[in-house]
Amino acid sequence: MKWNKITIETTTAAEDMISYELSVMGMEGVEIEDHVPLTEEERKIMYVDLLPDEIAPDDGKALVSCYLDEKEDLDTMIVRIQEKLEEISAFVPVGSGKITLGQTEEEDWINNWKVYFKPFRLDENIVIKPTWETVEDQKEDDIIIEIDPGTAFGSGSHETTKLCISALKKYVKEGTKLLDVGTGSGILSIIGLKLGAENADATDIDPNAIRATQENFEINQISEKKAKVEQVNLLDPEEREEYRGRHQGKYDVIVANILADVIIPLSGFAGQFLAKDGIFITSGIINTMEEAVKQAMEDNGWKILEINRMKDWVSITASL
Protein backbone atom coordinates (compact mmCIF):
# COMPACT_ATOMS: atom_id res chain seq x y z
CA MET A 1 0.00 0.00 0.00
CA LYS A 2 1.37 3.41 -0.96
CA TRP A 3 0.95 6.64 1.01
CA ASN A 4 1.38 10.28 0.06
CA LYS A 5 3.87 11.95 2.38
CA ILE A 6 3.09 15.61 3.13
CA THR A 7 5.91 17.66 4.66
CA ILE A 8 5.46 21.17 6.07
CA GLU A 9 8.36 23.58 6.57
CA THR A 10 7.68 25.40 9.84
CA THR A 11 9.20 26.47 13.15
CA THR A 12 9.92 24.66 16.40
CA ALA A 13 7.47 27.04 18.07
CA ALA A 14 4.62 25.77 15.89
CA GLU A 15 5.55 22.10 15.46
CA ASP A 16 3.46 20.79 18.37
CA MET A 17 0.33 22.73 17.43
CA ILE A 18 0.64 21.65 13.79
CA SER A 19 1.19 18.02 14.80
CA TYR A 20 -1.91 18.08 16.98
CA GLU A 21 -4.08 19.64 14.28
CA LEU A 22 -2.88 17.08 11.73
CA SER A 23 -3.87 14.28 14.09
CA VAL A 24 -7.31 15.87 14.54
CA MET A 25 -7.68 15.86 10.73
CA GLY A 26 -7.09 12.12 10.83
CA MET A 27 -3.63 12.23 9.28
CA GLU A 28 -1.46 9.18 9.90
CA GLY A 29 2.05 8.86 11.32
CA VAL A 30 2.88 12.47 12.19
CA GLU A 31 6.65 12.99 12.37
CA ILE A 32 8.74 15.96 13.51
CA GLU A 33 12.30 16.73 12.43
CA ASP A 34 14.13 19.58 14.16
CA HIS A 35 17.47 20.41 15.78
CA VAL A 36 16.15 20.93 19.31
CA PRO A 37 18.60 19.13 21.63
CA LEU A 38 17.22 16.12 23.47
CA THR A 39 16.97 16.43 27.23
CA GLU A 40 18.67 13.87 29.46
CA GLU A 41 15.24 12.42 30.26
CA GLU A 42 14.38 12.07 26.56
CA ARG A 43 17.66 10.32 25.89
CA LYS A 44 16.89 7.79 28.61
CA ILE A 45 13.38 7.20 27.24
CA MET A 46 14.63 6.79 23.69
CA TYR A 47 17.86 5.00 24.58
CA VAL A 48 19.79 7.52 22.49
CA ASP A 49 23.32 8.82 22.95
CA LEU A 50 24.62 11.39 20.50
CA LEU A 51 28.11 12.70 20.05
CA PRO A 52 28.48 16.50 19.92
CA ASP A 53 29.48 16.49 16.25
CA GLU A 54 26.26 14.61 15.40
CA ILE A 55 24.06 17.41 16.73
CA ALA A 56 23.27 20.27 14.36
CA PRO A 57 22.73 23.69 15.98
CA ASP A 58 19.10 24.55 16.73
CA ASP A 59 18.04 27.01 14.03
CA GLY A 60 14.39 27.24 15.11
CA LYS A 61 13.25 25.45 11.96
CA ALA A 62 11.28 22.20 11.81
CA LEU A 63 9.77 19.79 9.33
CA VAL A 64 6.42 18.21 10.20
CA SER A 65 5.42 15.27 8.04
CA CYS A 66 2.28 13.15 7.86
CA TYR A 67 0.86 10.46 5.61
CA LEU A 68 -2.32 10.25 3.54
CA ASP A 69 -3.69 7.12 1.89
CA GLU A 70 -3.12 7.49 -1.86
CA LYS A 71 -6.84 6.83 -2.37
CA GLU A 72 -7.73 9.99 -0.42
CA ASP A 73 -8.14 13.44 -2.01
CA LEU A 74 -4.66 14.95 -1.74
CA ASP A 75 -5.55 18.39 -3.14
CA THR A 76 -8.39 18.87 -0.65
CA MET A 77 -6.17 17.86 2.27
CA ILE A 78 -3.46 20.33 1.23
CA VAL A 79 -6.03 23.13 1.17
CA ARG A 80 -7.22 22.13 4.66
CA ILE A 81 -3.64 22.13 5.94
CA GLN A 82 -2.97 25.55 4.44
CA GLU A 83 -6.11 26.92 6.11
CA LYS A 84 -5.05 25.43 9.45
CA LEU A 85 -1.56 26.95 9.12
CA GLU A 86 -3.21 30.33 8.63
CA GLU A 87 -5.22 29.84 11.85
CA ILE A 88 -2.17 28.72 13.84
CA SER A 89 -0.14 31.71 12.60
CA ALA A 90 -2.38 33.94 14.73
CA PHE A 91 -0.87 32.30 17.83
CA VAL A 92 2.70 31.34 16.91
CA PRO A 93 5.07 31.96 13.95
CA VAL A 94 4.70 29.12 11.45
CA GLY A 95 7.67 29.99 9.22
CA SER A 96 7.46 29.52 5.45
CA GLY A 97 4.64 26.97 5.67
CA LYS A 98 5.93 25.48 2.41
CA ILE A 99 4.40 22.07 1.64
CA THR A 100 6.30 19.38 -0.26
CA LEU A 101 5.03 15.98 -1.37
CA GLY A 102 6.47 12.49 -1.65
CA GLN A 103 5.40 8.85 -1.65
CA THR A 104 6.34 5.90 0.52
CA GLU A 105 5.36 2.32 1.27
CA GLU A 106 3.43 1.65 4.48
CA GLU A 107 6.11 -0.53 6.04
CA ASP A 108 8.62 2.33 5.74
CA TRP A 109 6.96 4.28 8.57
CA ILE A 110 4.09 2.49 10.32
CA ASN A 111 6.29 0.35 12.59
CA ASN A 112 9.89 1.62 12.37
CA TRP A 113 9.38 4.22 15.15
CA LYS A 114 8.65 1.47 17.68
CA VAL A 115 12.35 0.77 18.17
CA TYR A 116 12.66 4.16 19.92
CA PHE A 117 9.64 3.82 22.24
CA LYS A 118 10.80 2.12 25.46
CA PRO A 119 9.19 1.93 28.93
CA PHE A 120 9.68 5.17 30.82
CA ARG A 121 8.92 6.45 34.29
CA LEU A 122 6.74 9.57 34.50
CA ASP A 123 7.44 9.97 38.19
CA GLU A 124 8.33 7.73 41.12
CA ASN A 125 5.52 5.24 40.56
CA ILE A 126 3.84 5.72 37.16
CA VAL A 127 5.42 3.81 34.29
CA ILE A 128 4.29 3.96 30.67
CA LYS A 129 5.04 0.71 28.87
CA PRO A 130 4.51 0.03 25.17
CA THR A 131 2.72 -3.26 24.66
CA TRP A 132 5.71 -4.88 22.97
CA GLU A 133 8.19 -4.10 25.80
CA THR A 134 8.79 -5.28 29.39
CA VAL A 135 9.62 -3.21 32.49
CA GLU A 136 13.06 -4.16 33.78
CA ASP A 137 13.10 -2.02 36.95
CA GLN A 138 9.51 -2.51 38.16
CA LYS A 139 8.86 -1.58 41.81
CA GLU A 140 6.20 -3.02 44.10
CA ASP A 141 4.02 0.11 44.13
CA ASP A 142 4.40 0.96 40.43
CA ILE A 143 1.33 1.78 38.39
CA ILE A 144 1.99 0.24 34.98
CA ILE A 145 0.12 1.74 32.05
CA GLU A 146 0.31 -0.28 28.85
CA ILE A 147 -0.06 1.87 25.78
CA ASP A 148 -0.10 1.28 22.05
CA PRO A 149 -0.10 4.85 20.75
CA GLY A 150 -0.35 3.77 17.13
CA THR A 151 -1.14 6.90 15.15
CA ALA A 152 -3.11 8.68 17.88
CA PHE A 153 -1.73 11.53 19.95
CA GLY A 154 -0.61 10.76 23.49
CA SER A 155 2.10 8.39 24.71
CA GLY A 156 2.48 10.29 27.99
CA SER A 157 5.93 11.67 27.31
CA HIS A 158 4.79 15.13 26.16
CA GLU A 159 4.94 17.99 28.68
CA THR A 160 1.22 18.71 28.41
CA THR A 161 0.36 15.13 29.34
CA LYS A 162 2.80 15.12 32.23
CA LEU A 163 1.24 18.30 33.62
CA CYS A 164 -2.20 16.65 33.51
CA ILE A 165 -0.92 13.52 35.19
CA SER A 166 0.56 15.55 38.07
CA ALA A 167 -2.83 17.19 38.58
CA LEU A 168 -4.69 13.88 38.39
CA LYS A 169 -2.44 12.44 41.08
CA LYS A 170 -3.36 15.38 43.30
CA TYR A 171 -7.12 15.55 42.73
CA VAL A 172 -8.35 12.05 41.81
CA LYS A 173 -9.60 10.15 44.86
CA GLU A 174 -11.30 6.82 45.44
CA GLY A 175 -14.73 7.00 43.79
CA THR A 176 -13.96 10.00 41.54
CA LYS A 177 -16.07 10.28 38.39
CA LEU A 178 -13.81 11.47 35.57
CA LEU A 179 -14.48 13.12 32.21
CA ASP A 180 -11.53 13.12 29.79
CA VAL A 181 -12.13 15.61 26.95
CA GLY A 182 -9.93 15.13 23.87
CA THR A 183 -8.65 11.80 25.13
CA GLY A 184 -6.17 11.02 22.33
CA SER A 185 -4.91 7.53 23.21
CA GLY A 186 -6.91 7.30 26.46
CA ILE A 187 -3.87 7.58 28.69
CA LEU A 188 -5.36 10.12 31.12
CA SER A 189 -8.53 8.08 31.58
CA ILE A 190 -6.46 4.97 32.26
CA ILE A 191 -4.23 6.73 34.78
CA GLY A 192 -7.27 8.27 36.48
CA LEU A 193 -8.79 4.81 36.92
CA LYS A 194 -5.50 3.36 38.18
CA LEU A 195 -5.40 6.19 40.74
CA GLY A 196 -8.79 5.19 42.10
CA ALA A 197 -11.44 6.84 39.93
CA GLU A 198 -14.75 4.96 39.97
CA ASN A 199 -15.26 5.42 36.25
CA ALA A 200 -14.07 7.47 33.30
CA ASP A 201 -15.92 8.83 30.29
CA ALA A 202 -13.67 9.86 27.40
CA THR A 203 -14.48 11.94 24.33
CA ASP A 204 -12.66 12.87 21.15
CA ILE A 205 -13.57 14.12 17.69
CA ASP A 206 -11.00 11.93 15.93
CA PRO A 207 -12.13 8.39 14.98
CA ASN A 208 -8.49 7.24 15.14
CA ALA A 209 -8.36 8.36 18.77
CA ILE A 210 -11.57 6.48 19.53
CA ARG A 211 -10.13 3.26 18.14
CA ALA A 212 -6.81 3.73 19.93
CA THR A 213 -8.52 4.46 23.24
CA GLN A 214 -10.79 1.41 22.97
CA GLU A 215 -7.77 -0.76 22.25
CA ASN A 216 -5.81 0.70 25.16
CA PHE A 217 -8.74 0.16 27.54
CA GLU A 218 -8.75 -3.50 26.50
CA ILE A 219 -4.96 -3.80 26.82
CA ASN A 220 -5.18 -2.47 30.39
CA GLN A 221 -8.12 -4.78 31.18
CA ILE A 222 -10.54 -1.91 31.78
CA SER A 223 -14.16 -2.99 31.35
CA GLU A 224 -16.93 -1.02 29.64
CA LYS A 225 -18.53 -0.56 33.06
CA LYS A 226 -15.45 1.37 34.18
CA ALA A 227 -14.69 3.37 31.05
CA LYS A 228 -16.37 4.43 27.83
CA VAL A 229 -15.15 6.50 24.91
CA GLU A 230 -17.39 8.36 22.45
CA GLN A 231 -16.77 10.37 19.32
CA VAL A 232 -18.39 13.69 20.11
CA ASN A 233 -17.62 17.38 19.63
CA LEU A 234 -18.61 19.05 22.90
CA LEU A 235 -18.12 22.48 21.31
CA ASP A 236 -21.13 21.77 19.11
CA PRO A 237 -24.26 22.76 21.14
CA GLU A 238 -26.41 20.03 19.63
CA GLU A 239 -23.87 17.26 20.21
CA ARG A 240 -23.20 18.61 23.69
CA GLU A 241 -26.87 18.46 24.70
CA GLU A 242 -27.22 14.94 23.29
CA TYR A 243 -24.16 13.89 25.29
CA ARG A 244 -25.55 15.44 28.48
CA GLY A 245 -28.78 13.56 27.89
CA ARG A 246 -26.89 10.27 27.82
CA HIS A 247 -24.78 11.15 30.88
CA GLN A 248 -27.06 12.50 33.58
CA GLY A 249 -24.51 12.34 36.42
CA LYS A 250 -22.01 15.06 37.26
CA TYR A 251 -18.24 14.61 37.14
CA ASP A 252 -15.87 15.20 40.06
CA VAL A 253 -12.93 15.89 37.75
CA ILE A 254 -12.83 17.08 34.15
CA VAL A 255 -9.47 16.90 32.39
CA ALA A 256 -8.88 18.52 29.00
CA ASN A 257 -5.46 18.19 27.41
CA ILE A 258 -6.25 20.01 24.18
CA LEU A 259 -5.31 23.48 22.91
CA ALA A 260 -6.03 26.97 24.14
CA ASP A 261 -8.48 27.76 21.34
CA VAL A 262 -10.58 24.78 22.48
CA ILE A 263 -10.17 25.29 26.22
CA ILE A 264 -11.37 28.90 25.97
CA PRO A 265 -14.89 28.02 24.68
CA LEU A 266 -14.89 24.84 26.78
CA SER A 267 -14.54 26.95 29.92
CA GLY A 268 -17.90 28.54 29.07
CA PHE A 269 -19.90 25.35 29.63
CA ALA A 270 -17.63 22.78 31.37
CA GLY A 271 -19.22 23.75 34.68
CA GLN A 272 -22.51 22.23 33.48
CA PHE A 273 -20.85 18.81 33.67
CA LEU A 274 -19.09 19.37 37.00
CA ALA A 275 -20.28 18.26 40.45
CA LYS A 276 -20.17 20.61 43.44
CA ASP A 277 -16.55 21.24 44.46
CA GLY A 278 -15.44 19.58 41.22
CA ILE A 279 -12.07 20.21 39.59
CA PHE A 280 -11.35 21.36 36.03
CA ILE A 281 -7.83 20.41 34.85
CA THR A 282 -6.61 21.91 31.57
CA SER A 283 -3.38 21.59 29.63
CA GLY A 284 -2.07 21.85 26.08
CA ILE A 285 -1.85 25.63 26.53
CA ILE A 286 1.14 27.20 24.78
CA ASN A 287 2.65 29.86 27.07
CA THR A 288 1.75 32.69 24.70
CA MET A 289 -1.92 31.84 25.29
CA GLU A 290 -1.76 31.53 29.08
CA GLU A 291 -3.27 34.94 29.82
CA ALA A 292 -6.08 34.47 27.29
CA VAL A 293 -7.11 31.15 28.84
CA LYS A 294 -6.81 32.54 32.37
CA GLN A 295 -9.00 35.51 31.43
CA ALA A 296 -11.63 33.29 29.80
CA MET A 297 -11.80 31.13 32.89
CA GLU A 298 -12.19 34.09 35.20
CA ASP A 299 -14.83 35.63 32.92
CA ASN A 300 -16.78 32.36 33.15
CA GLY A 301 -16.70 32.30 36.94
CA TRP A 302 -13.84 29.86 37.51
CA LYS A 303 -11.58 30.18 40.53
CA ILE A 304 -8.05 29.34 39.47
CA LEU A 305 -6.45 26.97 41.98
CA GLU A 306 -3.02 26.59 40.44
CA ILE A 307 -0.99 27.21 37.30
CA ASN A 308 1.89 24.87 36.46
CA ARG A 309 4.40 25.13 33.64
CA MET A 310 6.79 22.81 31.85
CA LYS A 311 8.98 24.20 29.09
CA ASP A 312 6.65 26.19 26.77
CA TRP A 313 3.47 24.57 28.07
CA VAL A 314 0.99 25.55 30.77
CA SER A 315 -1.61 23.71 32.84
CA ILE A 316 -4.39 25.59 34.65
CA THR A 317 -6.49 23.89 37.32
CA ALA A 318 -9.71 25.57 38.47
CA SER A 319 -13.01 25.10 40.30
CA LEU A 320 -16.31 26.99 40.47
Determine the pLDDT at residue 116.
62
User: Could you tell me which residues come within 8 angstroms of residue 56 by beta carbon, excluding any fewer than 6 positions away?
Assistant: 35
CA torsion, ordered 311, 314, 315, 319, to nearest 10 deg? 150
Residues paired with residue 287 on neighbouring β-strands, in sequence order: none
Instruction: Give 211 or 240, the one with higher predicted confidence.
Output: 240
List the strands of the sheet with 120-121, edge to edge: 120-121, 126-130, 143-147
Judge whether residue 70 has pLDDT over 90: no
**How far apart are the C-alpha atoms of 81 and 14, rounded to whole Å?**
13
Residues paired with residue 102 on neighbouring β-strands, in sequence order: 5
Determine the pLDDT at residue 85.
95
Determine the pLDDT at residue 24.
75
Determine the pLDDT at residue 75.
93
> In a 10 Å sphere around its CB, with 0-12 CB exposed, 13-18 middle and 19+ buried, how is residue 46 labelled?
middle
Q: How far apart are the first and last CA of the chain?
A: 51
Q: Answer yes or no: are the C-beta atoms of 174 and 196 closer than 8 Å.
A: yes
Q: Answer yes or no: are the C-beta atoms of 227 and 200 closer than 8 Å.
A: yes
User: What is the pLDDT averaged over residues 204-230?
Assistant: 90
Determine the pLDDT at residue 50.
42
Q: How many residues does the chain have?
A: 320
Q: Average pLDDT, whole number, for the chain? A: 86
Judge whether residue 46 has pLDDT over 70: no
Judge whether residue 299 has pLDDT over 70: yes
Judge whether residue 48 has pLDDT over 50: no
Name the region of 94 (left: φ>0; alpha: ψ -120 to 50; beta: rest).
alpha
Query: Could you read off the pLDDT of 252-293 as tens digits, one per residue?
Result: 999 999 889 899 999 999 999 999 999 999 998 988 899 999
CA 74 vs. chain centroid, Å, equals 25
Instruction: Give 77 or 43, the one with higher predicted confidence.
Output: 77
**How far apart are the C-alpha atoms of 29 and 42, rounded to whole Å?**
20
Determine the pLDDT at residue 43.
46
- The pLDDT confidence band at residue 190, using thresholds 50, 70 and 90, is very high
Determine the pLDDT at residue 249.
83
Instruction: Give 156 or 69, the one with higher predicted confidence.
Output: 69
Judge whether residue 152 has pLDDT over 70: no
Determine the pLDDT at residue 47.
38
Determine the pLDDT at residue 317.
98
**How far apart are the C-alpha atoms of 8 and 45, rounded to whole Å?**
27
Instruction: Give 45 or 243, the one with higher predicted confidence.
Output: 243
Residue-range domains of the chain with CATH: 2-113 (3.30.70.120), 117-319 (3.40.50.150)
User: What is the pLDDT averaged over residues 194-201?
Assistant: 96
* Phi and psi angles of residue 23, each rounded to the nearest 5 degrees, phi first: -65, -35
Determine the pLDDT at residue 271.
96
**How far apart are the C-alpha atoms of 311 and 254, rounded to whole Å?**
23
Instruction: Give 130 or 174, the one with higher predicted confidence.
Output: 174
Instruction: Give 302 or 155, the one with higher predicted confidence.
Output: 302
The number of beta carbons lying within 10 Å of the beta carbon of residue 116 is 10
* Phi and psi angles of residue 144, each rounded to the nearest 5 degrees, phi first: -95, 120
Query: Could you read off the pLDDT of 91-144 as tens digits, one per residue?
Result: 899 999 999 999 876 655 556 656 667 778 877 788 888 888 888 888 888 999
